[in-house]
């Protein structure tokens, strides 16, 4: 799994942080950043939940084999 954020879509609502604070953070410009690009274990579920919670669909999850 690979987690990315489209910075052009991110509006800094921080919904991702409320779901997965171990994976995401907000930069000084209130744009979300990815702390863990390739999450393992239960962080995978948190990443998926954060992507679903993002009101602007700025988070992309690429499932890798």
pTM value is: 0.91
Which range of residues forms the domain containing residue 12?
Answer: 2-62
Question: pLDDT category, 65, cuts 50, 70, 90?
Answer: low
Domain count, the chain: 1
Cα torsion 23, 46, 56, 8 to 10°: value is: 20
Q: Can you give the pLDDT at residue 32? A: 96
**Is pLDDT of 11 > 70?**
yes
Helices H / strands E in the chain, number of each:
2, 4
**Is pLDDT of 25 > 90?**
yes
Instruction: Find the CATH number of the domain harbouring 15.
Output: 3.30.70.20
């Amino acid at each position: 799994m690979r987690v990315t954020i489209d910075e052009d879509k991110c509006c800094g609502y921080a919904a991702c942080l409320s779901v997965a604070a171990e994976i995401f953070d907000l930069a000084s410009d209130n744009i979300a950043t990815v702390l863990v690009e390739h999450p393992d274990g239960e962080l995978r579920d948190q990443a998926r939940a954060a992507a679903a919670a993002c009101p602007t669909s700025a988070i992309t999850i690429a499932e890798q084999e």
